[in-house]
Amino acid sequence: MTVHHPQTPQFFLTSPSPCPYLQGRAERKVFTHLLGERAPALLDLLSQGGFRRSQNIAYRPACERCRACVSVRILVDEFAPTKSMKRVRSRNRDLVARMSAPNPTSEQYSLFRRYIDHRHAKGGMAEMSVLDYAMMVEDSQVDTRLIEYRRRGPDSRFSAASDGELVAVALSDVMADGMSMVYSFFDPFEDDRSLGTQMILDHVEQTKKLGLSYLYLGYWVEGSKKMDYKIRFQPQEHLTPKGWERYEG
């Protein structure tokens, strides 16, 4: 008989489901629960092995005949923005980023709904209610931060209340060696701003300020247009069968 220590994580495997990135393929995930005081240390360890967090679950792909999902992390101390990234930063000089505890608001949910309805209306998050959204933000037993990006008000230096409209939100974890972008969304009608790129650039700076080495971006899938943007942030490391290896494509 197998006896499990009460604090030993148990891993489970999902049933096959359609792959959201590569047409005609199926995906499976292996997952475990992040619970109790050991959750932060467990997430640190699992992140080294390519796991991601969603609420109190850590998961990673476990597809039988496919290894297309590659874990990616940016080397923040060596990162230098490209000319196009510098232009994105310049276009967003009027934004103020404020990091706080993960507290959901109706304003965030309105922006989230606008983003999902415009960009991912047929995706798995399309049916999320305001309660589902609140659970996504709050349900964490690790060090999770919420970063709001607002238009700069005339007196932003002196009062957060002077900041204007909310245009983007990121939910991110702080781990022992870096930050991990768990989920982000933005105003889909602000295309000229390239807000997805702006949030990653800001997270590189936030990670540096915390004295950490890596910004974890999740999975890059070669051949998936949804994931092409991740490869632009270099230098970066990819998780291979030999461990984390430097990639400069």
What is the count of structural domains for the chain?
2
Those residues with Cβ within 8 angstroms of residue 196's Cβ, 6 or more apart along the chain or in another chain:
184, 186, 229
What's the rounded Cα separation, in Å, for the pair 52 and 43? 8
Digit-by-digit pLDDT tens for the chain (249 residues) are 444 445 678 999 999 999 888 988 999 999 999 999 999 999 999 999 999 999 999 999 999 889 999 999 999 999 999 999 999 999 999 999 999 999 999 999 999 999 999 988 777 788 899 999 999 999 999 999 999 999 987 655 545 555 689 999 999 999 999 999 999 999 999 999 999 999 999 999 999 999 999 999 999 998 888 888 999 999 999 999 999 999 977
pTM for the model stands at 0.91
Look at the chain and count its residues.
249
- Beta bridge mates, 145: 172
Which residue range forms the structural domain that includes residue 239? Answer: 73-247
**Residue 7 belongs to a domain:** no
Does residue 100 sit in the same domain as residue 157? yes
Please enumerate in sequence order all residues whose Cβ is within 8 A of that of 198, keeping only pairs 6 or more positions apart, or say none: 88, 89, 92, 95, 149, 168
Of 69, 89, 107, which closes a domain? 69
Q: Both 55 and 20 in a single domain?
A: yes
Residues 117, 206, single domain; the answer is yes
Same domain, residue pair 65 and 177: no
Q: CATH number of the domain that 127 lies in? A: 3.40.630.30
DSSP of 44-95, one letter per residue? HHHHHTT-EEETTEEEEE--SS---EEEEEEETTT----HHHHHHHHHTTTE
> Do 142 and 64 fall into the same domain?
no
Question: Which among 242, 234, 247 has a CA at the least distance from the CA of 74?
Answer: 234
